[in-house]
C-alpha cells in the first residue's frame, strides 16, 4: 500500500513503515505517523481474508474476556489494527491466560458455525450451516471440518487409497467419539497455536490472527497442543475456571486431525504421516 493511500485511510501522514513478522501468510508492517500514532498493517491478499479476520477480532472483543488488537480500518486487501507493543510475561501469565480463555469459551450462540465463512491460514473455512448442522456438533464437525479438508486433499493430490479408507472409517465412528461432550456452542479463536498469541506491554495475553467460529471448546484446546508453546499452568487454570467433561483427552485426536489435514493441504506431504497416525488412532485401524 502506498503512502498516499495510507494517508487517505488514516487521515494523517505516515512517516515510517517497518516490516515485521506477521504469521505465515501476511505482509505486515508497523506504521508510524507524524502525529505519533502507531498502527499495524497487514496486506498481501485480495480475497476478503482480512475483512473476515477483522470480523473475528471484533467477535472476540465483544466477549470482554481477553485483549485482542482493536480493528481500526479494514478492506478487501488490507487490515489496519492498533499496534500493541510486546512486553514480558508476568509470572502468572499462563494462569491468567487459562482463566481468560475459559471466559472466552463461555460466550455462546444459538448454533454452531458463524455468520460467514472465513479462513484458517489461507485455507477457506466453512462456517455457514444448513439443516441439522446448526445444532449437531458431530455433523457440523464432519461436514465443515474433516470432510471439507479431505476433499481439498483429494483436489491437491494427497488423498491416496489409505487416507480415503481411513476417512471413510472415521465417518462411521466420529459421532460416537464426540457424543460424550455435548455442550452449547462456544466462541472459539479457531487457530490457537503458539504463534497466535502475544504478550502486551503489561505482561498480559493478547489473541491475534483468529479463525473464529462457534464450536466445541475442546477444539481450541487441542490446537494449543499441536506445536506446543503453552505452559501446563494454562490448562490447570482453565480446568479450575471451566472444567472439561470426562474423556476430553480421548477426543483430542479428532480435533488435532482438522489442523493436521489443513497443514497437509497448505504445506504438503510432510503432514501426511501425522494425519494417517491420527486416523488410525481414532478408528483403531
The catalytic site residues sit at: 191
Angle at 167 between CA 257 and CA 223, to 5 degrees: 5
Question: Measured between alpha carbons, how far is 195 from 207 in angstroms, rounded to an integer?
Answer: 10
Question: Measured between alpha carbons, how far is 72 from 254 in angstroms, rounded to an integer?
Answer: 36
Which grid coordinates belong to 43?
Answer: 496486506
Question: Measured between alpha carbons, how far is 8 from 48 in angstroms, rounded to an integer?
Answer: 20
**Residue for grid cell 487454570:** 237
Counting every residue, how long is the chain? 285
User: 91 with 186: CB under 8 angstroms?
Assistant: no
Residue 86's Cβ-count burial label (10 Å; 0-12, 13-18, 19+) is exposed
Which grid coordinates belong to 235?
Answer: 490448562
User: 186 with 216: CB under 8 angstroms?
Assistant: yes
Q: Is the dihedral of CA 181, 111, 216, 267 positive or negative?
A: positive
Question: Measured between alpha carbons, how far is 110 from 186 in angstroms, rounded to an integer?
Answer: 10
Which grid coordinates belong to 140?
Answer: 457440523
Which grid coordinates belong to 84?
Answer: 500493541
Question: Measured between alpha carbons, how far is 186 from 109 in angstroms, rounded to an integer?
Answer: 7
Within 10 angstroms of residue 175's Cβ, the number of other Cβ atoms is 14
Question: Measured between alpha carbons, how far is 119 from 247 in angstroms, rounded to an integer?
Answer: 29
Amino acid at each position: 500500500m502506498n503512502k498516499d493511500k495510507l494517508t487517505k485511510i488514516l487521515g494523517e501522514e505516515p512517516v515510517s513503515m517497518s516490516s515485521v513478522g506477521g504469521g505465515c501468510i501476511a505482509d505486515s508492517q508497523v506504521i508510524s505517523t507524524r502525529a505519533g500514532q502507531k498502527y499495524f498493517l497487514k496486506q498481501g491478499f485480495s480475497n476478503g481474508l482480512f475483512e473476515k479476520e477483522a470480523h473475528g477480532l471484533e467477535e472476540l472483543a465483544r466477549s470482554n474476556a481477553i485483549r485482542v488488537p482493536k480493528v481500526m480500518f479494514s478492506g478487501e486487501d488490507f487490515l489496519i489494527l492498533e499496534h500493541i507493543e510486546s512486553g514480558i510475561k508476568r509470572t502468572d501469565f499462563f494462569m491468567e491466560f487459562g482463566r481468560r480463555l475459559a471466559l472466552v469459551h463461555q460466550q455462546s450462540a444459538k448454533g454452531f458455525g458463524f455468520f460467514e465463512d472465513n479462513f484458517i491460514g489461507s485455507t477457506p473455512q466453512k462456517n455457514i450451516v444448513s439443516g441439522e448442522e446448526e445444532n449437531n456438533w458431530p455433523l457440523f464437525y464432519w461436514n465443515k471440518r474433516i470432510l471439507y479438508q479431505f476433499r481439498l486433499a483429494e483436489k491437491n493430490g494427497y488423498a491416496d487409497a489409505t487416507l480415503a479408507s481411513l476417512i471413510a472409517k472415521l465417518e462411521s465412528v466420529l459421532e460416537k467419539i464426540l457424543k460424550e461432550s455435548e455442550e452449547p456452542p462456544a466462541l472459539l479463536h479457531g487457530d490457537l497455536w503458539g504463534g497466535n498469541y502475544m504478550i502486551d506491554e503489561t505482561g498480559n495475553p493478547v489473541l491475534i490472527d483468529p479463525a473464529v467460529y462457534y464450536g466445541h471448546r475442546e477444539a481450541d484446546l487441542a490446537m494449543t497442543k499441536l506445536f506446543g508453546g503453552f505452559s501446563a499452568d494454562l490448562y490447570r487454570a482453565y480446568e479450575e475456571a471451566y472444567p472439561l467433561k470426562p474423556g476430553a483427552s480421548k477426543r483430542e485426536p479428532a480435533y488435532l486431525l482438522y489442523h493436521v489435514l489443513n497443514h497437509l493441504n497448505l504445506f504438503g506431504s510432510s503432514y501426511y504421516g501425522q494425519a494417517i497416525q491420527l486416523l488410525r488412532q481414532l478408528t483403531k485401524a
